[in-house]
Amino acid sequence: MSTLRVAVVGGGIGGLFAAIALRERRMEATVYEQAAALSEIGAGLFVTPNSLRLLDRVGLLGRVEEAGALVGPNSAYFRDDGTPIPGRLSLDSSGTVRVYGMHRADLIEILAGALPAGTVATGHRCVGYEETDGGGRLRFTNGTTADADVVVGADGIHSVLQGHVVEPSTPVRSGSVAYRGLVPRSVLPGWPVEARLLWMGEGRHIIVYPVRGDTLLNFVGFVPADEVMRESWSAPGDPKELAAEFAGWDAPVGQLLEHVEYTFRSALHDREPLARWTAGHLTLLGDAAHPMLPHLGQGANQSIEDGMALATLLAASPEEPQRALLAYERIRKARTDAIQAGARGQGRRFDSEFDDLDERDAGMAESERFLQWLYDHDVLAEAEEEGLALR
Query: Which positions are catalytic?
Result: 209
Instruction: Report the C-alpha gap between 275 and 169 in whole angstroms.
Output: 10
Instruction: Provide the 8-state DSSP code for 166.
Output: S
CA dihedral 127, 133, 134, 136 (to 10 degrees): 0
| Cα-Cα end-to-end distance for the chain | 15
Burial class (CB in 10 A: 0-12, 13-18, 19+), 66: exposed
Instruction: Provide the 8-state DSSP code for 164.
Output: G
Residues 6+ apart with CB under 8 A from 348: none
Ordered alpha helix ranges (H), the chain: 13-24, 49-57, 61-67, 104-113, 239-245, 251-257, 299-316, 321-350, 357-376, 379-388
**Kind and range of the H or E element at 162?**
none
| Per-residue CA distances from 116 to 13, 89, 151, 260 (Å) | 16, 37, 20, 38
Instruction: Report the C-alpha gap between 242 and 244 in whole angstroms.
Output: 5
Instruction: Report the C-alpha gap between 31 and 19 in whole angstroms.
Output: 7
The type of residue at 197 is L
CA dihedral 226, 229, 232, 237 (to 10 degrees): -50
